[in-house]
Structure 1
Amino acid sequence: MAAAVFVALLIVSALVSSTYAEIGKKECTNVDYDCNRLPGSRKCGDSCRAKARSEGSSNYASACEPAVAPFKCCCTVKDPHHPWPPTS
């Protein structure tokens, strides 16, 4: 019985840590539009917002890299429970 409870706790712990492992990680995706200018910058921001929401956060940052083609839309999903950047 104790072994089964221990195994269940390990599984739950692994699931929780994998869910939050992406928080703070910057991920970039190649895009076929100029995400430095409207409407491309809005499209990049919208995709980052959707990604953050799918991970349980409304706190995110989007950026377009580099300044010339080929462009990448970069998203950082931030911790929904802590301000970013931290206040002093």
Structure 2
Amino acid sequence: MRLEFRSDVRGYVLMLNRDLFGAFILQRRWFGLANHRGGVKQQVFEDEEDAMRTVKRIRREREKHGYNRGRNTEISACWM
């Protein structure tokens, strides 16, 4: 799953994948649209429900802070 958010000057990407051991890896990437400075954070979840709770919380926070969903957002029905 990949969720992309944009504000006027910032970008934010969430990617949730499974590793070879079955754990859920949530990668967050944030960056400036003009200067491309930013960072990356990864979290490991053993439980899918915990991972999805975190994704939903982050999505609400991004929307609350004025970010809009990007055009190329792909969401599988099983992830929402």
Shorter chain as normaliser: what TM range? 0.3 to 0.5
Higher helix share: 1
TM-score by length of 2: 0.32
TM-score by length of 1: 0.30
Higher strand share: 2
Rg larger in structure = 1
